[in-house]
A and B are shown apart, each in its own frame.
Chain A
Amino acid sequence: MAAAQSQDEQQDQAPLPTGLQELVEDFHAVTVQERLQLLLELSQELPGLPQRYQGRLDQMERVDECQSPVFLAVEVEEDADRTVRLFIDAPAEAPTTRGFAGILHEGLDGTPAGEVLAVPDDAPYRFGLAEAVSPLRLRGMVGMLARIKRQVRARTTAADAAAGEG
């Protein structure tokens, strides 16, 4: 019944990019305790930084909303979709934060810029994690998402201006 209810609620909400929506469904398909395990798995699957960002955290944006040192970089490709590439660095000693980063990476990396910008700011609250990790902790993911969107906006605007469209 709880699952049906949450599906009804989801119908009233702005849609998410496919990858992110699939993760929302994965999280709601399991118990609260299993959600923690799923988050842990996502933390383990967060890819390491590519060569060009290694040791260059100064080139990345620090996520102040996280209590652990978390850095992210956003690239927007010049293809028709303006595909977004995400690079996130979070310490192994902060698996929850890494898990949040893992959700955003798994759900948004490779998505068109327009879809990333359309992700509602409250998307982090749709995974049923508030009861598993507490709402306060979710602020870290809210901060990460806001910074990702801001960077995507900045990069697409800059690209538009350069192309004479802005």
Chain B
Amino acid sequence: MTAPTDRTEKFAAYAHPERLVSTDWLAEHLGEPGLVVLESDEDVLLYDTGHIPGAHKLDWHTDLNDPLTRDYVQGERFAEVMSARGVTRDSTVVIYGDKNNWWAAYALWVMTLFGHEDVRLLDGGRTKWVAEGREMTTEAPAVTPSDYPVVERDDRTVRAFKDDVMAHLGRPLVDVRSPGEFSGERLHMPDYPQEGAMRGGHIPGARSVPWARAANEDGTFRSREELEAIYQQEQGLDPAEPTVAYCRIGERSSHTWFVLTHLLGFDAVRNYDGSWTEWGNAVGTPVER
């Protein structure tokens, strides 16, 4: 069962308005059968300090990443994670989180790898819900474990590996890290080793568009017009061209992947989740400063 699309005017201009819901919409539909709300934060304890009533916690590290291999969980574990939260294959899933929905977008992207069809973001995320004085609770949600199928992860369509990026060089790449990370000058404090990568800089030819430029002050997404001005007019990205987004570990670039794919309707955007922690450490990969 699929929940209705939010008809908010701002959303109608986006390529896929059905991928967003407003806080008003969520407040109205909360508790309806077929709708599951998940909170996905950078901070693993934030949910426990209070969450939207009925929402379940979905942690990007402990639930979505494999504890051994640097990779996402496999289909069986994903099915367990979904079942424990009462999600079925045809549930409408609404994800929200902290930091402009940064980790919520990451969770949405991982759910996309498993082909979950109806997964949406709450525009403005946790911050907006709280700012509007809406109800929060520390009460654990009641749940009837569901029967979620074991689905094989699709790593070809929206995910790029290092070799894919090597083959993609010369075509559009978006680096969504901060300007200092892009230029390669950050972050070398005295006495502290630069953590995470052996080399600083960016993938040759990448455009620098820090991810948070897509968000307003209140954490909501900018309008279609504003987003087109940034990504298409200013940066010259073309919705028809295959594009790869990356950051440090693929989290911030999930947010940009969401913007390009669902709000601007780019045809073929892939997120390179290995990102700089792989590229900046691999031997022989080309780096530009």
Contacts and interface: CB of A to CB of B under 8 A. Distances in A.
B65 A134 contact: yes
B212 to A, nearest CB: 13
A40 interface: yes
A95 interface: yes
Given A64-B187, A95-B49, A137-B61, A143 B44 contact: no
Contacts of A150: 191
Nearest to A136: B61
B61 A133 contact: yes
A36 B65 CA distance: 18
A43 interface: yes
Interface string A94-105: 111101000000
Interface residues of B, number: 18
Interface string B117-156: 0000000000000000000000000000000000000000
Nearest to B195: A139
A65 B43 contact: no
A134 B61 contact: yes
Contact of A137 (B44, B99, B191, B195): B44
B48 interface: yes
A99 to B, nearest CB: 7
A39 interface: yes
Contacts of A54: none
Contacts of B43: 68, 93-97
Interface string A142-154: 0100100010000
Contacts of B61: 133-134, 136-137
A67 interface: yes
Contacts of B67: 131
A93 B50 CA distance: 11
B11 to A, nearest CB: 26
A98 B234 CA distance: 39
Nearest to B98: A93
Contacts of B80: none
Interface in B46-81: 46, 48-49, 61-62, 65, 67
Contacts of A95: 43, 45-46, 48-49
Contacts of B195: 65, 139
Nearest to B193: A146
B42 interface: yes
B189 interface: yes
B35 to A, nearest CB: 26
Interface centre among A39, A92, A96 (most CB of B within 10 A): A96
Given A93-B98, A134-B65, A36 B191 contact: no
Interface string B197-237: 00000000000000000000000000000000000000000
Interface in B139-194: 187, 189, 191-192
A43 B43 CA distance: 12
A82 B62 CA distance: 41
B189 A64 contact: yes
Contacts of B49: 40, 92, 95
B192 A93 contact: no
Contacts of B191: 146, 150
Nearest to B187: A64
Interface centre among B43, B46, B98, B191 (most CB of A within 10 A): B43
A40 B48 contact: yes
A43 B44 contact: no
B98 A134 contact: no
Contacts of A94: 43, 46
The 8 closest A-B pairs by CB, nearest first: A134-B61, A95-B45, A96-B45, A96-B43, A133-B44, A40-B45, A94-B43, A96-B44
13 contacts: A36-B48, A37-B48, A39-B45, A43-B45, A64-B192, A92-B49, A99-B45, A132-B44, A133-B45, A134-B44, A134-B65, A137-B44, A150-B191
Interface of B: 42-46, 48-49, 61-62, 65, 67, 98-99, 187, 189, 191-192, 195
